[in-house]
Amino acid sequence: MTVADEKKALICLIAGLLRDCNHVAVGAASPIPGAAALLAKAAWGSPRHVNILGSVANNFFTGGGGELFDCAAQGRIDAFFLGGGQIDGEANINLMGRGPYPTSAPRWPGTFGSAYLYFLIPKVILFREEHTRRTLVEKVDFISAPGVSDEKIYRKGGPYGLITSKAFFMFNRKKRRFSLLSIHPGSSLEDILDNTGFAFDYEETTPVTPPPDPELLKLLEMDVSRPVAEVYPNFSATIFPVT
Amino acid sequence: MPAEYSDLSISDFASAIPDGAKLAIPADYAGVSMAATRALIRRKAKNLHLVGVPTSGLQAELLIGAGCVATLESSALTLGEYGPAPRFTKAVREGSIHLIDATCPAIHAGLQASQKGIPFMPLRGILGSDVLKHHPGWKVIQNPFSESEDPIVAIPAIQPDIALFHAPLADRDGNVWLGRKRELVNMSHASKTAFVTVDAICETSLFETEEMAAGVLPTLYVGEIYHAPNGSWPLPFWNGAKVDDAHMQEYMKMAASDAGFNEYLERYVYGESAMA
């Protein structure tokens, strides 16, 4: 598989996770999740609403920058995506930087809305393409947003799973632990054990991630590539070469 | 509010922003006044306290690099797909600016408290985050309406001295049209005053039609207006310009070193007044 094929497979995989959603919001710099949300909407009409932050054409909010957060707190957003420079085995995420705060080196942009949205959106899909011990760590250096909270804490949402370029993990909030659901073609259980810095549950017979449905892939290439290009021109140029 | 905008130069506009001012500035996509940013650097502004609403980008990066900033209060500083902001990264590593790291809805909530003239706004989430641990102002309180234990974060009001941004249009009465960018309205209501650069001046009142009036920031909140066509350059503007991609790539190359950054300022910031 080429790199472009791998990215398209990730888009199709993520699209399938959004079918049960009414409203999916996507951060400005998340082309693969953004493309997945647009694809799911085109394929199944579900999610009905896709909101891409920072986009003009694909952002229907009229109440200003705070509307997303009010929506989330009211339960009006079903799924969202978070990443991070580090993600640990308890699904804590670090968007701040490596090393001791505040003199982080490197410093990453910052926490954005993660410290809030992680608590309030039911299905938060963690997405980080780089699958190495540098990004998937035992314990994050800075908790931008915690993966789990005590029962006394008001929490309506949290981590659903983690998708990387190598695998798909589900998160078990009771056990506070990831379990390996499937391994993408081109990787293996050994490869994943070698490159994951945190412990997780797995079966020796973990299945391979199924290939994208050909119809869905066709829809992505034929119809959805255009709106994807409007929102993420540079990304689009890398996976949908101009013919 | 001056009736004749032509009387005011961008230098006058920037000089009316005092050293040490607390400035509310929008995210890179919401209408950043880069024209005013360059003028602030030219007048060697000092000790600014920037409040990114809710994040900032090239504007804070340039002001930090030029030594104008004492404090950055924001949920992020991002140049998006161009990669890590070089001057910001260096300042953080060297500890040369004071950071108040927040999370987006907390910035909005702090401004909202200021808009309402109340001391704080409670907000869900955040508990257990290291952002809460390090933030100098946030406090965890018990929900006074709950009989069981229900901790909630209290965000103190944020009252900037000046909201500084770029908008498409102003009329001769000092009203500013900003469409559905309501965060600019919130910023302005929360701040003591608003300084706005605009792409165009409209000769008729923005209140003439209800369609336009719905997107108006009334002159009551506006302190200064300056006519700066394409004043968000090189950043994109929601009501017009696309990002100047070639310029941003050039910036990233030049700002990688101290010497290169100084050359950038010479060429594109100090040089601009000669061009204008």
Interface probe with B: pick from A153, A230, A236, most Cβ of B within 10 Å: A153
Contacts of B77 in chain A (CB under 8 A): 109-110
- The pLDDT assigned to B275 comes to 46
Mean pLDDT of A230-239: 84
The C-alpha atoms of residue A208 and residue A10 are separated, in whole angstroms, by 13
Rounded distance between C-alpha atoms, residue A8 and residue A27, angstroms? 19
Chain B (93-112) residues lying within 8 Å, Cβ to Cβ, of chain A: 93-95, 99, 101-106, 108-109, 112
Do B243 and A54 touch, CB atoms closer than 8 A?
A: no
Q: Give CA–CA dist B71/A193, Å, rounded.
A: 43
CB contacts, 8 Å: A51 with chain B: none
Write the pLDDT tens digit of every residue in B219-238.
Answer: 999 999 999 999 999 999 99
CA proximity to B30, closest of A15, A167, A59, A175: A59
Round to whole Å and give the CA distance between B193 and B111: 13
Q: Does B188 touch chain A (CB under 8 A)?
A: no
Domain extent, residue A94, equals 3-239
How close A74 gets to chain B, by Cα (Å)? 11
In sequence order, which residues have a C-beta less than 8 Å from that of residue A168 and are 6 or more positions away?
A13, A161, A162, A180, A181, A182, A184, A209
Separation of CA B187 from chain center: 9
Of A29, A64, A97, the CB nearest to B186: A64
Output the DSSP codes for B137-201.
S-EEEE-TT-SS--EEEEEEP---SEEEEEEEEEETTS-EE-TT-HHHHHHHHHSSEEEEEEEEE
C-alpha of B275 from chain center: 25
Q: How confident is the model at residue A230 (pLDDT cuts 50, 70, 90)?
A: confident
Task: Report angle CA A25, A30, A31 to the nearest 5 degrees.
Answer: 110
Has residue B55 got a pLDDT over 50?
A: yes
Given an 8 Å threshold on Cβ–Cβ distance, is B185 in contact with A64? yes
Chain A interface test: which of B97, B130, B232 (most A C-beta within 10 Å): B130
Nearest CA in chain B to A116: B125
Query: Which residues are CB-contacts of A125 (< 8 A; sequence separation ≥ 6)?
Result: A14, A17, A33, A79, A80, A81, A82, A160, A161, A162, A163
Chain-centroid distance, C-alpha B102: 15
Query: Cβ of A107 and B27 within 8 Å?
Result: no
Q: Tell me the three state secondary structure of residue B63.
A: helix
Which pLDDT tens digit goes with each residue over A99-144?
999 999 999 999 999 999 999 999 999 999 999 999 999 999 999 9
A28 with A59: CB under 8 angstroms?
no
Domains contained in chain B, CATH given: 5-106+158-275 (3.40.1080.10), 120-156 (no CATH)
Over residues A147-168, the mean pLDDT reads 97
What is the total count of domains within chain A? 1
Is the CB of B55 less than 8 angstroms away from the CB of A61? no
- Which CATH number does the domain housing residue A72 bear? 3.40.1080.10
Q: Residue B121, SS3?
A: strand
Inter-chain touch B29–A54, beta carbons under 8 Å: yes
**How many whole angstroms separate alpha carbon B175 and alpha carbon B207?**
9
Structure ipTM? 0.94
Token output for A169: 């993990």
Compute how many other C-beta atoms are within 10 angstroms of the C-beta atom of residue B274: 6
Do the Cβ atoms of B29 and A28 come within 8 Å?
yes
What's the whole-number mean pLDDT along residues B129-148?
98
pLDDT at B5: 67
**CB < 8 Å to A116, chain B:** 103-106, 123-126
